[in-house]
């Protein structure tokens, strides 16, 4: 939980009936006055109506609210889905005294089902009536955006500018269908900093590239991925440029990285969080190709599941990704143990390394491919039978 929430925000979450389980499924984040908001969204051609809606109105300096429903993605739902998305914005705007184009919308859940507006409409009225600025209100909203997640995903940072404190907090959801090429599954980062919409867009794009764009579970890009940064402007600290703006950007990035790591750590059925560090590549782009190839390999992921130090799967994945490097310069460590060096295997105790993998939820793969300046980091989860079972029965 955040130590200090940013000023100028109110939060709420309710159970509107979208989820048959009766769990919380409708969240609202509202600002006390016009605020700055910027976002990055899925690049999937097949995407939800909410994505088009949010793209049209961000970045903006007239933001007032974000309404989020979970349990239904409202994706691939045609004109009726577009109408329902617009209604969510209109209903929210009416409740808080704003215009529809001041309201962003997120939806998450099963694809191809129309939103149950008979539940959504009174739910929006209910959630608006419960808005508050306490940590309990924040937690309720963070819980209401979850679907298959095992628990809350939150993070926060505080920076000092002169004698003023600026707070940055975030919440996210996501455990499956994780292969973003923009941002994350769903995430919201909030701050009381006073910045313009251009700065907000630059900050959140860079933060996304360093965090959510570097996580995966099974490499499947969602139809609904979205990340929004909201700045209420309630802090009196001056951060127009220079060191203060860089500090804010760093705090937003660190918050996003912490949130992003929690997603594969909560991957459906996951027994390991895998961090892949690539160094020595000819460029960052080459390093990124290598990291993504390793993270996307089902053979690598299942080896981690079985605590099998099968280094051949890792180096071969690096070799087919399209990045150029010399095999003679490749070295690999698993949880700190060297298993491959100078392009050839080294003697190590497989039983010992297997035990190291088994005893730790965190698995670190460190691959050096030369002496170049390129490096990259990626996070993924292992692939378990529990993941297969869950996703083979998701709609039936």
Higher confidence at residue 382 or residue 221? 382
Query: Do 356 and 256 belong together in one domain?
Result: no
Which of 203, 232, 263 delimits the end of a domain?
263
Q: What pLDDT was estimated at residue 179?
A: 55
Q: What pLDDT was estimated at residue 45?
A: 77
184 is catalytic: yes
* Residue 15 located in a structural domain: yes
* Residue 2 located in a structural domain: no
* Residue 294 located in a structural domain: yes
Task: Give Cβ neighbours of residue 114 (< 8 Å, ≥ 6 apart).
Answer: 74, 77, 80, 81, 84
The whole-angstrom separation of Cα 255 and Cα 63 is 21
Residue 131 has pLDDT above 80, yes or no: yes
Q: Structure pTM?
A: 0.88
* Residue 195 located in a structural domain: yes
Residue 252 has pLDDT above 60, yes or no: yes
The percentage of residues in the chain with a pLDDT greater than 90, rounded to a whole number, is: 74
CATH number at residue 302: 3.10.20.340
Q: What pLDDT was estimated at residue 183?
A: 45
Which of 240, 263, 286 delimits the end of a domain?
263
Q: What is the DSSP string of 223-267?
A: SS-EEEEEE--------SSHHHHHHHHHHHHHHHHHHHHHHHHT-
Instruction: Please give the residue range of the domain that contains residue 256.
Output: 9-263
Q: What pLDDT was estimated at residue 387?
A: 75
Antiparallel, parallel or unpaired: β 374-381 and 362-368: unpaired
Query: Do 338 and 304 belong together in one domain?
Result: yes
* Residue 268 located in a structural domain: no
* Residue 346 located in a structural domain: yes
The whole-angstrom separation of Cα 179 and Cα 295 is 10
The percentage of residues in the chain with a pLDDT greater than 70, rounded to a whole number, is: 93
- Residue 60's pLDDT band, with cuts at 50, 70 and 90, is very high
Beta carbons of 120 and 18 less than 8 angstroms apart: yes
CATH number at residue 91: 3.60.70.12
Query: Do 246 and 351 belong together in one domain?
Result: no
State the total domains in the chain: 2
- Residue 396's pLDDT band, with cuts at 50, 70 and 90, is low
Which of 205, 231, 263 delimits the end of a domain?
263
Q: What pLDDT was estimated at residue 368?
A: 98
Least confident piece of the model among 37-41, 216-220, 367-371: 216-220
* Residue 3 located in a structural domain: no
The number of angstroms, rounded, from the C-alpha of 138 to the middle of its chain's C-alpha atoms is: 18
Which CA distances in Å does 329 have to 175, 199, 346, 371? 36, 41, 14, 8
Tell me the pLDDT tens digit for each residue of 95-114.
Answer: 999 999 999 999 988 888 99
Antiparallel, parallel or unpaired: β 164-173 and 374-381: unpaired
- Residue 218's pLDDT band, with cuts at 50, 70 and 90, is low
Higher confidence at residue 236 or residue 27? 27
- Residue 223's pLDDT band, with cuts at 50, 70 and 90, is confident
Residue 64 has pLDDT above 90, yes or no: yes
Residue with tokens 């996307």: 296
Query: Do 387 and 247 belong together in one domain?
Result: no
Beta carbons of 318 and 330 less than 8 angstroms apart: yes
Query: Do 125 and 174 belong together in one domain?
Result: yes
Tell me the pLDDT tens digit for each residue of 159-191.
Answer: 998 888 999 999 998 765 555 554 446 899 999
Query: Do 219 and 75 belong together in one domain?
Result: yes
Q: What pLDDT was estimated at residue 220?
A: 59
Tell me the pLDDT tens digit for each residue of 297-347.
Answer: 989 999 999 999 999 999 999 999 999 999 999 999 999 999 999 999 999
Q: Which residues pair with 11 in a beta bridge?
A: 29, 132
Please write down the HEC assignment for all residues of 119-175.
Answer: HHHHHHHHHHHCCECCHHHHHHHHHHCCCCCCCCEEEEEEEEECCEEEEEEEEEECC
Marked catalytic residue, from 184, 191, 380, 384: 184
* Residue 224 located in a structural domain: yes
């Amino acid at each position: 939980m955040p130590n200090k929430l940013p000023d100028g925000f109110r939060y709420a979450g309710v159970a509107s009936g979208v989820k048959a389980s009766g769990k919380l499924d409708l969240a609202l984040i509202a600002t006390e006055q016009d605020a700055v908001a910027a976002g990055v969204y899925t690049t999937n051609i097949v995407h939800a109506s909410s994505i088009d809606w949010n793209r049209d109105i961000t970045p903006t300096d007239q933001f007032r609210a974000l309404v989020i429903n979970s349990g239904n993605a409202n994706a691939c739902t045609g004109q009726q889905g577009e109408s329902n998305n617009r209604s969510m914005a209109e209903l929210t705007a009416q409740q808080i005294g704003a215009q529809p184009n001041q309201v962003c919308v997120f939806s998450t859940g099963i694809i191809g089902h129309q939103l149950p507006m008979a539940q959504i409409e009174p739910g929006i009225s209910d959630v608006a009536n419960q808005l508050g600025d306490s940590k309990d209100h924040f937690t309720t909203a963070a819980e209401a955006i979850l679907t298959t997640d095992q628990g809350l995903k939150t993070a926060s940072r505080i920076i000092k500018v002169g004698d003023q404190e600026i707070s940055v907090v975030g919440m996210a959801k996501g455990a499956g269908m994780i292969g973003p090429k923009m941002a994350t599954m769903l995430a919201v980062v909030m701050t009381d900093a006073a910045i313009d919409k251009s700065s907000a867009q630059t900050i959140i794009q860079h933060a996304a590239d360093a965090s959510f764009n570097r996580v995966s579970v099974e490499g499947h890009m969602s139809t609904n991925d979205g990340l929004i940064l909201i700045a209420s402007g309630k802090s009196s600290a001056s951060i127009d440029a220079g060191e203060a703006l860089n500090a804010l950007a760093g705090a937003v990035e660190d918050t996003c990285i912490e949130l992003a790591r929690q997603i594969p750590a909560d991957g459906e059925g996951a027994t390991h969080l895998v961090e892949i560090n690539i160094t020595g590549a000819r460029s960052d782009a080459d390093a990124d190709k290598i990291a993504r190839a390793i993270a996307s390999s089902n053979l690598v992921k299942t080896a981690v599941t079985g605590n099998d130090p099968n280094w051949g799967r890792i180096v071969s994945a690096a070799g087919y990704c399209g990045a150029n490097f010399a095999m003679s310069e490749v070295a690999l460590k698993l949880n700190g143990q060297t298993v491959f060096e100078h392009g050839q295997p080294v003697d190590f105790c497989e039983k010992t390394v297997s035990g190291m993998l088994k005893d730790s939820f965190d698995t670190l793969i460190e691959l050096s491919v030369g002496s170049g300046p390129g490096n990259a980091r990626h996070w993924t989860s292992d692939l378990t039978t529990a993941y297969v079972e869950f996703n083979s029965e998701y709609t039936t």
